Amino acid sequence: MSRPLTNAEENPHAGKGSSVLLDIGDGVGAIVLTLPADLEDAEIERRPAGEHHPGHTHFPHIAVVPRATPDGTTNYSAVFFDVPEGRYNLHVIPDGPARLSVEVIGGEVTEATWPS
């Protein structure tokens, strides 16, 4: 007997490969961030820009992970998938200031580099 699969279980190896599958389309895009190596394992959070966010509000966040490149080097990235169209501020959690702002357009992948 098989058990139902859920996303409630922690997977410490999630995202540590070199490939990412994105499902984008009408009204939904993705954000691909390139970050410095010293942020490996940090959590980056996306918050809708221009809105007031009271403390303890939960927003989507994703870990910065190393990804091998075809030439043998390593890039550090964070990938947000299934992102509704709009403008977002990106923060290191738990309470870092907004370091980057991006615009997501449905059906497109927004690429950005974290400021040094």
CA dist 88 → 6, 20, 56, 108 (Å) = 27, 21, 18, 15
Residue whose structure tokens are 């490969």: 17
pLDDT for 2 equals 61
CATH fold of the domain at 28-51+59-113: Immunoglobulin-like (2.60.40)
Residue 75 is predicted with a pLDDT of: 94
- Residue 103 pLDDT greater than 80, yes or no: yes
Q: Which residues pair with 43 in a beta bridge?
A: 63
Every domain of the chain and the residues it spans = 28-51+59-113
CA 74 to chain centroid: 18
What is the separation, in whole angstroms, between the first and last Cα of the chain?
51
pLDDT: which is higher, 69 or 77: 77
Cβ(100)–Cβ(92) under 8 Å? no
